[in-house]
Amino acid sequence: MEDLVESILDYVRSDYTDYAVMLNGEWGSGKTHFWNNKIKKKIESMQLNGKRYTTIYMSLYGISNLEEISKKIFMETTQLMDKNLRKFMDSSGQQSIPEYAKTGIDMANFFGVTRNGDKVDYAEFFSTDDKVLCFDDLERANVDVIDILGYINNFVEHDHIKTIIICNEKELATKLKSSNLEMKTFIATYLLDRQDELNKTDKPIVEKIQEKIEHVFDKANDYERIKEKLIGETFEYAPKFDYIINGILMRYEDNPDLIKFLRENTGIIISTFNKSGTRNLRILKHALNDFKKIYEMVNKFYPNTNNRVMQTMLIFTIAVSFEIKAGKITKDKFINIKDNEEYKAVLVSSRILMDNRQFYIKEFDNNYYYNFKSKYRFFKFIEYYVRTRIFDMKIFKENMETIRNTVDTENLPSYKRLLTEEYWKISDDQFDKVIKEIIEDVKAGKILLIDIVKLFAYFSYFSRKGLIEYDLKTLKNIFFNGMNIASLTSQYCQNVEEELGKIAIEEVATDMEDILNHFYMLNNQLLEKMYREKAEEIMKCIPMKMEQFYEKFDKECMDIPIFKYYDTFQLFQRISCASNEDIVLIKEKMLDRARAQRHTKKIEPEMKNIKQLKQVIDDYLKGKDPTIKIVMLKEFSKSLGYILDKYKVSFLSNKEEKENEEKTES
């Protein structure tokens, strides 16, 4: 950077110049900061023929006509000529005038408030050899760039004023090509049609239009011609980011823990910044400011979070910030990914199934996490915060609980640690403590039923290898009792085989049979309990909340013998209180469900209660005078008969059924 500063100063020192110099760099790379803190100070400390240099800075951002530039130059110049203003700035150590203060001074000058009767010093106006003009944001002006450069050329060629133009030429080129594109396309199409070129098939029509636009409206060539005349040297601004980032981090020195973490991970910050493919320091500053909030919230609610997790959060915050804010993607790329598991599933599908729809996620992961191993790489609460500017506490806590329970082994309960990482990774000095804590949790029934089964496989293995002092008989007693207690609060496990397949030991004990049989018995009880609770929840919607009943029945009861788990007499009372229309709809839903072949075996266990419900309805209908509801209930009973007939349920008496059950049991 010092070489670049010196090159620009050499231009300023030159006795005679009839050209300007350009400082080119990407948006947000710190060009304006470089001017204010490096170049401007150096220029204003120089003297030429006994005169001190004066800089006049103007941003062209939003300028809509050339007259505005003239006004800006005049106002900047008159402010610099104001003796009182100079005196104040010298006494206060003020280096530059704040923009809002300039506005006030401009208006004061306009109304003659601050001049104190001083006459205009024409020598100041006519002096050009001690002034340096700086025009910034050339590509952001709302005036034709060619016109602006022609305007600036007046100062450079005729007055020989040292002039520095700061811009992003890449964006300038895009702007030159894309301006008035609709009008250019229309005219190009019209010309092609007049030349009878539109219907020829020698080239794609899009290519023809593009070539015609470039031929007729070649602003880029005009720009190159005037640039060649006006700009003597173009300097590329490519800062050393390790130095700049060190300066950015200084703003967090009031937070000792954060600044320590950031300085320790400067390499990660620079690496992620480079992988973004942009040079936009402004986005990096915003990303680090977002991470400050994230870091403070994690430390407040989840202290001692694993350092590797925090490093991954830092990478993800910077990466997502650049992907969204640099305009590389639309904001919705991550919206439908709800958690880290889904993120990993998308990666698998994009790699194994070659799913091009998810290609972006694969590229994102390959780019930012290259050579960085981490199990948890997608943080929904961070993505949501960067995208919406809302820090959602619910998502944050859900993510952090998942991390603590699956990844952050330093904070995992001992039993989860044994189940989620290879047991041999537990150090010898920690092993006894882990075993003791697990035994206590098993005895207290604090662990899920299926996890107790998996833990027994490990403990049986440890016992056979002599790693623990417990014999198998003692272990079985402890684990049987623990399972009984755990079953009071555990949830039914549906994917038993999948869960048992996660046991990470080479040889599973043959003495698992007793534990497994006890588990299956308890797990079936939990299933029955779950179905009873579901039946209670769904059936109580009749007759007052029928819409909820239909929705829950369709979504949750097609494969469940739900009528087995609800009292038949209560169900009849609810149905009989329903409207005639609802009685018909309930009947039709039951018929549709019974007719669907895929549900036949699954709902067969409820047929005994269906038969009993039919009997209760028939008993109620005996001797009743016909009404619409009575007719609807008769139709309902008839449909139940159809269902029972479909399942070949015999109409035995209760006494006969009891006798058959006794025979079966004997």
pLDDT digits (tens, 9 = 90+) for 570-591: 999 999 999 999 999 999 999 9
Measured CA to CA, the distance from residue 160 to residue 290 in angstroms comes to: 47
pLDDT at 647 over 70: yes
Query: Of 646 and 311, which is predicted with more confidence?
Result: 311
For the beta carbon of residue 112, count every other beta carbon within 10 angstroms. Answer: 9
pLDDT of residue 525: 94
CB burial string 390-412: b at 16+ within 10 A, e below? eeeeebbeebbebbbebbbeebb
Task: Provide the pLDDT for residue 330.
Answer: 60
pLDDT recorded at residue 188: 67
Q: What's the whole-number mean pLDDT along residues 634-647?
A: 92
Tell me, what's the pLDDT at 126? 46
pLDDT of residue 99: 45
Chain mean pLDDT for the chain: 81
Tell me how far apart the alpha carbons of residues 598 and 600 are, in angstroms, rounded to a whole number: 6
Q: What are the start-end ranges of the H helices in 465-604?
A: 472-486, 496-500, 513-539, 546-556, 568-577, 580-595
Least confident segment among 102-111, 256-265, 404-413, 554-563: 102-111
Least confident interval from 204-213, 274-283, 298-307, 366-375: 204-213
pLDDT band at 652; cut points 50, 70, 90: very low
Q: Is the pLDDT confidence value at 196 over 80?
A: no
Q: Predicted confidence band at 650 (pLDDT cuts at 50, 70, 90)?
A: very low
Q: pLDDT tens-digit profile of 605-619?
A: 999 999 999 999 999
pLDDT greater than 60 at residue 218:
no
SS3 letters for 27-82?
A: CCCCHHHHHHHHHHHHHHCCEECCEECEEEEEECCCCCCHHHHHHHHHHHHHHHHC
Q: Which residue type does 301 have?
A: F
Q: Examine the pLDDT at 480 and tell me if it is beyond 70.
A: yes
pLDDT at 122: 42
- 298 and 305 in contact (C-beta within 8 Å)? yes
Structural contact between residues 400 and 298, judged by C-beta atoms closer than 8 angstroms: yes
**Residue 336 pLDDT:** 84
Segment 322-340 mean pLDDT: 79
pLDDT of residue 115: 46
Dmax over CA atoms of the chain, in Å, equals: 124
Q: What percentage of the chain has pLDDT greater than the value 90?
A: 37
Rounded Cα distance between 3 and 447, Å, is: 66
Cα 7 to Cα 485: distance, rounded to the nearest angstrom: 80
Element (H, E) at 163: strand 162-167
**pLDDT tens readout for residues 333-389:** 788 889 988 888 787 765 544 555 567 888 899 999 988 888 889 999 999 999 999
Of 20-29, 412-421, 424-433, 558-567, the one with minimum mean pLDDT is: 412-421
pLDDT tens digits, one per residue of 108-143 = 555 554 444 454 444 454 456 778 999 998 888 888
**What mean pLDDT comes out for the span 272-290?**
88
Residue 329 predicted with pLDDT over 70:
no
Residues 284-299: what's their mean pLDDT? 94
Estimate to the nearest angstrom the gap between the alpha carbon of 359 and the chain centroid. Answer: 16
Does residue 272 contact residue 370 with C-beta atoms inside 8 Å?
A: no
Which helix (H) or strand (E) element contains residue 321? Answer: helix 307-325
Using pLDDT thresholds of 50, 70 and 90, give the confidence band for residue 97: low
Angle at 287 between CA 284 and CA 293, to 5 degrees: 145
Whole-number percent of the chain with pLDDT over 70: 79
Residue 539 has pLDDT above 90, yes or no: yes
* Block residue for tokens 């003297």: 47
pLDDT reported for residue 120: 46
- Using DSSP, state whether 412 is helix, strand or coil: coil
Q: Given this model, what pLDDT does residue 117 score?
A: 47
The residue-averaged pLDDT of 635-640 equals 95
Predicted pLDDT at 105: 53
- Phi, psi values for residue 479, rounded to 5°: -75, -35
Q: How far is CA 409 from CA 201, 242, 486, 489, 560, in A?
A: 66, 33, 24, 25, 39
- As a whole number, mean pLDDT of residues 543-568 equals 92
Overall average pLDDT of the 233-238 stretch: 84
**Per-residue confidence (pLDDT) for residue 123, from 0 to 100:** 45
Locate all alpha helices (DSSP H) within 131-240, ordered by sequence.
Answer: 145-153, 169-178, 181-194, 205-216, 219-230
pLDDT of residue 182: 66
Structure tokens at 318: 């910077």
Using a 10 angstrom Cβ sphere, with 0-12 exposed, 13-18 middle and 19 or more buried, the burial of residue 380 is: buried
Question: 116 by DSSP, 3-state: which?
Answer: coil
pLDDT category of residue 527 using cuts at 50, 70 and 90: very high
Residue 55, φ and ψ in degrees, nearest 5: -105, 140
Question: What pLDDT is stored for residue 145 in this prediction?
Answer: 83
The rounded distance, in Å, linking the Cα atoms of 453 and 487 is 12
Give the separation between CA 264 and CA 262, rounded to whole angstroms. Answer: 5
Region of poorest pLDDT, from 114-123, 131-140, 424-433, 462-471: 114-123
pLDDT tens, position by position, 76-85: 666 555 556 5
